[in-house]
A and B are shown apart, each in its own frame.
Chain A
Amino acid sequence: MIFQGKQKIWSEYQKDIPEDHYFYVRSCIRQSFFPASEKTFLDIVKGELGKDFFETPHHTTCGGIAYHAEAVPQETMMTIIARQFALMTENGYENYVCSCITSFGLYTEVMEDWREFPELEAKIRENLWKATKREFKVPKYLAHASDIIYKFRNEIAERAKFRLVNHKTGAPLKVVEHIGCHYSKMFPSKGVGGAEYPYVLAGMIESWGGEVIDYPERRHCCGFGFRQYLVKANRGYSMSNTYKKFESMEPFEPDMIITNCPGCPYFLDRWQYVIAEQTGKTYGKDGYGIPVFTYEEVAGLVLGYDPWDLGLQTHQVAVEPLLDKMGVPYKPEEKYKGVGGKVIVPPEFPMNIKCC
């Protein structure tokens, strides 16, 4: 087939994502802040779609956050990753899927480095053998978990109980999509749509009925910055970047934000709270913020999962305005309860931004 012009360029940024049989590894940040999203991911791919996604309790951090905080050397990070690959190999898998964007960027970088510098791969193999007596094969295919939901976005749409549409007016909801920097900024060809036109989240939004908002700082970092957040003294950097994005998106009046990175939904949510508490400013209407979601949370809402099963009660910015627009039913009195309705004393209310 002969492609012309834009069609040819676009074709270079598509990923041929395998359908099935993945070795799944989790994200440190997402397990801590969005554990229900990882559960939802597995519920969708295994439960709804009947795919084979295998997880071993022996997998660990990839060491990525420590590496980007300079707390461990590059060789350490690479050898931990080699151990993860060994676990994949030992369990008979060749497709590798990770929940974390920092991991995805590092796995991509490590595999590229080893291809370019074979002596480096040999050194890491030697390190791993010395430390663990393990050997590994490099994955045949590397995916980020959002690639998988993107691939099955239309199957999810076919099962939709709710859509990204205002159920009263029929108008598509206005959605900001925020892609984690390490998804495709380093290796554009490894992400759906590349770095200029990443389509992994936009594809989900369009498939589920929403309208993607383009705004000036759409590709700006959320501001994690690793040490710029991990160290208390540096957090002004982190908040300033989020502030810049919200000031830029505000005139477009988004109904929601959807992200595919572990840290981004946390920062875009929590810094809205800090901005509101420090300045009184909120970016939604009537004292609400703009609710921020992981892609699994949005997929779960579309499929009709209970919002509190999805973990939406752990957001600081209230999600209820979005649930009301979509027409998703929910029980406010259940929001902060434990398993089986166990009573937990609910959180305090912030001064300036509504959290429910």
Chain B
Amino acid sequence: MGKLYDRLAQDYRVKEGLRACINCGTCSAICPAAEFYKYDPKTIMNIVQTRDDAQIEELLKGDQIWYCGECLSCVTRCPRKNAPGLVIMALRSMSIDMGYFIESEKGRQQLPLTRRMQNNILNYGYCVYPRTFHYKDHPEYGTVGKWINENMEAVYERLGAHLDQIGPGALRKIPQESLDELKAIFDVTGATHRMEVVEEASKKMAEKMGMTLEEYEQQAFDETSQEHLNL
């Protein structure tokens, strides 16, 4: 008992975010995710405080830890200055590092997320970038968004952006030497390793589910079960 907790407790977000939870439930009362999903941050804080490996492992393999929106409204309201949102972030990191994330539907979303975010940063230097933000994946972008997508150069020029241009300005082409530095940072700090872990574990799970990795990624991005919802 306590090995998983000991590992979790090494995370600075747990050092910052879990001092002594009195389980009052204020975090759950303010939480937007608790209203939408079958989710209760108070229970998660309580489980972590028990230091019980079996219960913590269940959390790491389950859907609950992926419901939080990381708005961190809980931090403002906690009367003990805890940060349930930060503890959730530490649990998520641990779930990925240990390969447990593939056991839950919401955890399996890590493949499309990691691929898309890391691709944007390493290739362009941005987390969100117009050339990879497609209307077909984002129909809520609306008729105006579709118009922006279809007339990208002309619209961004009109808005004073410097799309793919050299020099400063919005959406400038970030110099290759700066992108190379981001890649070196990824290699030194574990982001490259995280991508490898996510790819490897997802590949095994896709095989187990009888899918190609591309089918698995698309399903993780598109589909969700109603059972998550707090109806």
Contact = CB atoms under 8 A, between A and B. Distances in A.
Interface of A: 26, 28-32, 35-36, 38-39, 55-61, 63-66, 68-76, 78-80, 83, 105, 113, 116-117, 120, 127-128, 130-132, 181-182, 185-186, 188, 195, 219-221, 223-228, 230-237, 239-241, 244, 270-271, 273-274, 308-309, 311, 313-316, 336-339, 342, 344-350, 355
Contacts of A30: 170
B166 A69 contact: no
Given A38-B170, A226-B70, 11 more contacts: A57-B174, A60-B179, A60-B182, A61-B120, A72-B117, A131-B184, A231-B109, A231-B112, A233-B109, A237-B32, A270-B140
A74 B13 contact: yes
Nearest to B218: A232
A227 B36 contact: no
Interface stretch (B20-28, B41-49, B189-197, B208-216): B189-197
Contact of A185 (B16, B71, B181): B71
A264 to B, nearest CB: 11
B83 to A, nearest CB: 8
Which 6 A/B pairs are nearest by Cβ-Cβ distance? Answer: A225-B69, A347-B147, A71-B117, A35-B161, A35-B170, A65-B127
Contacts of B227: none
B37 A337 contact: no
Given A80-B182, A127-B185, A225-B69, A31 B114 contact: no
22 contacts: A28-B128, A28-B129, A31-B171, A57-B168, A70-B93, A74-B93, A79-B189, A80-B185, A127-B189, A130-B188, A132-B184, A185-B76, A186-B76, A195-B76, A223-B69, A230-B113, A233-B220, A237-B33, A273-B142, A313-B144, A338-B158, A349-B143
A131 B186 CA distance: 9
Given A64-B127, A69-B113, A338-B155, A186 B186 contact: no
A241 to B, nearest CB: 5
Contact of A71 (B118, B137, B146, B151): B118
Contact of A236 (B36, B70, B161): B36
Nearest to A43: B160
Contact of A186 (B66, B72, B92, B194): B72
A38 B187 CA distance: 32
A234 to B, nearest CB: 7
A138 to B, nearest CB: 17
A311 B171 CA distance: 15
Interface in B137-170: 137-138, 140-148, 151, 154-161, 166-170
Interface magnitude class on chain B: 35 or more
Nearest to A267: B140
Contacts of B146: 347-348
B188 A127 contact: yes
A117 to B, nearest CB: 6
User: Chain B CB within 10 Å — which of A31, A59, A314, A355 has the most?
Assistant: A31
B69 to A, nearest CB: 3
A56 B96 CA distance: 35
Contacts of B118: 66, 71-72
B73 A76 contact: no
Main secondary structure of the interface of B (DSSP, over half): helix
B147 A346 contact: yes
Nearest to B131: A32
Given A72-B118, A316-B143, A233 B70 contact: no
B64 interface: no
Contacts of B158: 308, 337-339
A239 B37 CA distance: 13
Contact of B72 (A128, A182, A233): A182
Nearest to A219: B73
Contacts of B15: 117
A132 B185 contact: yes
Contact of B144 (A234, A271, A355): A355
A28 B137 contact: no
Given A70-B89, A314-B148, A344-B155, A270 B110 contact: no
Given A73-B189, A225-B33, A350 B143 contact: yes
B191 A58 contact: no
Contact of B37 (A56, A57, A224, A237): A237
A314 B172 CA distance: 19
Contacts of B130: 32
B75 interface: yes
Interface string B62-97: 000010111111011000000100000100110010
Nearest to A124: B189
A241 B126 CA distance: 26
Contacts of A227: 66, 109, 113
